[in-house]
Every structure is written in C-alpha cells, then in structure tokens.
Structure 1
Amino acid sequence: MQTDNLLKQVSFIKEIDKLKYIQRKTKLFNSDRCENDAEHSWHLAMMTIVLAEHSDKPIDVLKVLKMVLIHDIVEIDAGDVFLYDTTKSHINTDEELIAAKRIFGLLPIEQAEEFIAIWTEFEDGITDEAKFAKSMDRFEPLLQNTSNNGGTWAEYNVPHQTVYDKKKVIKEGSTTIWNYAENLINESVDKGILKK
C-alpha cells in the first residue's frame, strides 16, 4: 500500500511540473519577463508567511499555504485566464473542476479528496483562510504592475474602475493590506500609469 501511494504521489509530482510552463500575463517585478504559475504560487506562499499577521481574522496559515500552492494547478489543463480578459470570464470553475479531479485524482484517494476540498474552499472564497488566500492572489500582481509602470494595466488599457473592482476583494482578507493596496492604486492614477 505504501509503495502504491508513493507511486501515485510521484506521478502527481511529475505532473505538476507542467505548472512551470503556464505563462501568466503579469511580469516579474521591474522586468519585461512574464512570470509562470509556479513562480506565482511560490510568491503567494512566501507572502502568506510574511503577511499573515495582517489578516483581519485568525487563520490557519498552513491551510492558506496549501490553498495558494494548489489553487492554480488546475491551469495545467484549463489554462490561465487573464484577470482582465474581456472575452472570457476569469471564473471558469467548471473547466477547472474537471482539471482538479483529473490532476488531484493522480494522488491517493485521501490526499486527492483533501486537495479538491482545499481548492474548492479557495474558489468559494467564504472561509477566513480563503479570503486571506484570495487577498494574496490579488495583491501580488498589483505590486508587480506598480513596479512596471502600469504593467498589464497599461499594456491592455485596463481602466481604474476595473482594477479597483477586481482588487477590492483584498479587503475581505485584510483591511490593512487593502488600505495599502488602495493607496497604490490611487498613486498609480496620479502617476498616469493607470487611467481614471
């Protein structure tokens, strides 16, 4: 049984290496290179560890870490949909659920069920852990875009109100981080790197 579990786990580990090839639109800090999903997930995990004290509610940091590390694995099959895409909804949960069942299904049943449950909890965004995880997910690209003179906002001509509406979910997990983020959005308008 242990050998069977190990073989399934190694199969999963090999499969998720594909996450390194999923390119995001957002570029690395002060760079013209797009980040990939694996880099994004790692960065969110570090942000969670560093910024957890700013959560409005007590959170299980390990659970948040699991969320931010696995939330984009489904994009191996479903692809990355740009947050500001005007032709396809960023919320493609049906496609992603199929992907979650296939990819997490490579694991032993108990782990597969846990990962699907954690992924679903993140997607639903109701628990304190999910709210904080989503805060990290929206905060990181905001920091990247402000470091890149507007980054994808400028490149795709994303208006201020759209950015504001997409980023205000940060407030659900952390008022402190939202206040900081909102200030960065306003400064970006003042600097002309985000159109009002």
Structure 2
Amino acid sequence: MEPTNLLRQIEFIKEVDKLKYILRKTKLLNSDRNENDAEHSWHLSLMAIVLADHANAPINLLKVIKMLLIHDIVEIDAGDTFIYDTQKNHVNTEEERKAARRIFGLLPDDQANDLIAIWEEFEEGQTDEAKFARAMDRLEPLLQNTSNNGGTWNEFGVNYEKVYTKKQVIKQGSERIWQYAEQLINDSVERGILKK
C-alpha cells in the first residue's frame, strides 16, 4: 500500500472523530445527557453482536457492524435529523449523499467505494443485513425513551401512533425483537409515558 493511502486513511480517521460532537435528541439510558452519534453507533454495533441470533434470516454480522459504525457518519456534514421531525423528513437526502461522497472520499478509492456502498445498502434497507441493522437503529431509542419516562416522546409531543409506525421497521429485521418492542410501546402507554 502506498504511503499516500496511509495519509488519506489517517485524515479520514481524524475527520470521523467529529461524530463525537454530533448530539442526538435522545438521551442516554436512565440519564438526562444527550447521546452523541459515536456513542449511538458503538451501542448499536454491540447490540447487533449480542442480538444477532434473533435476526429473521442468517446475516453477515461483520457487514451489519460496518453499517452500524458508519451509518451516521454523514451527519458530520448533514447534521442529525430527529426521527419524529415534522419539518424535515428522516430519509436519505441529497445533502447526506454529498456528505457521504466528501467524507468517505477522504479514503483511498477502493475503501471509499466500499463504505459508500455499505452506507447506501443500509439506507435502502432491502438486504437482510440492512433490515437487521435498521432494527437495531430503531430499538435503541425505544429502550432509551422507556428508561427515561418517555424522554423525547414527551419533550417533543410524540404520540403512540408516530412511535408505533416508526418502530415497525424492527419487524423487518427481527420478528422476535419486534414482539418485545411492541410490548414496550404498549407498556409505555399503560404507564402514561406515551400518549395515545
């Protein structure tokens, strides 16, 4: 490998350190501190390792972990869009694609192309790996909000219907985890921390 490749890789590593400064709306479990994107990505990756046996189909776990570690890197440029945002849709935007090209483009071409493809696969959500990775991405905030007595649901006036609709993505990656998540949602209504 050329020395210039190493320098490009080091530049990428320095750039993605910025992920630690991107704050999410959701707070850490049992905490009043907002989670940052780096913490979120690490937690999802560990969740995938622990919960992989519950995937609906056999998955390439390394690919899932790669997806989870890089899926929010674009937020360094594009910022974090709250999943329940009423002004900006939480979808793969041109702004995010531009960010992916810039940030992953710091790497040598073969690595850049590989990570962009994995990022796109996650965003499209069609493969078994992407479905499971997206299930983890939707499960973690549910765990956080239920541990924080409604957390961002109450803070931003998010109701049962919105939560239930957004969290159904979990079912595509894991029916078993969806059953657990659905019960958490229903229990949250009964506890009065999620309004119908």
Across the aligned residues of Structure 1 and Structure 2, the Cα RMSD in angstroms comes to 0.6
1:156 matched to 2:156? The reply is yes
Query: In the alignment, what sits opposite 1:114?
Result: 114
- The alpha carbon displacement at 1:167 in A equals 0.3
1:31 aligns with 2:38: no
Q: Does the residue aligned with 1:26 lie in a helix, a strand or coil? A: strand
- Matched with 1:60 is 60
Determine whether 1:133 maps to 2:133: yes
TM-score in terms of structure 1 length: 0.99
The alignment status of 1:70 with 2:73, answered yes or no, reads: no
Task: Give me the whole-angstrom Cα distance separating, in 1, the residues matched to 2:54 and 2:31.
Answer: 28
Q: What amino acid does structure 1 have at the position aligned with 2:83?
A: L
Give 2:71's aligned amino acid. H
Inter-partner Cα distance in structure 1 for 2:59 and 2:2? 32
Which letter does structure 1 place at the counterpart of 2:125? Answer: G
Instruction: Give distance in 1, aligned partners of 2:154 and 2:52.
Output: 30
Percent of pairs with identical residues: 70
Letter in 1 for 2:140: E
1:2: Cα distance to partner?
A: 2.4
CA deviations over 1:105-157 (Å, ceiling 9, x no partner) = 00000000000000000000000000000000000000000000001001111
User: Match of 2:97, as an amino acid?
Assistant: L
TM-score normalized with structure 2 length? 0.99
Letter of the aligned partner of 2:6 in structure 1? L
Q: Distance in 1 between matches of 2:73 and 2:106?
A: 13
Runs of 4+ in 1 over 6 A off after TM superposition: none
Q: What is the CA-CA distance between 1:93 and the residue it aligns to? A: 2.2
Distance 1:2 1:27 in 2: 43
Question: Is the CA contact (8 Å cut-off) linking 2:75 and 2:96 kept in structure 1?
Answer: yes
Unpaired runs of at least 5, structure 1: none
Contact 2:164 2:185 in 1 (8 A): yes
**1:148-187 to 2 correspondences below 5 Å:** 148-187=148-187
Answering whether residue 18 of structure 2 is matched by residue 40 of structure 1, we say no
- The answer on whether the counterparts of 2:44 and 2:137 sit within 8 Å (CA) in structure 1 is yes
**What does residue range 88-99 of structure 1 map to in structure 2 within 5 Å?**
88-99=88-99
Aligned partner of residue 35 in structure 1, secondary structure: strand
Q: Which residue of 1 aligns with 2:51?
A: 51
How much has 1:94 moved relative to structure 2?
Answer: 1.1
What amino acid maps onto 2:100 in structure 1? A
Residue number in structure 1 paired with 2:100: 100
Q: Once the 2 structures are TM-superposed, how far is the Cα of residue 92 of structure 1 from its aligned partner?
A: 4.1
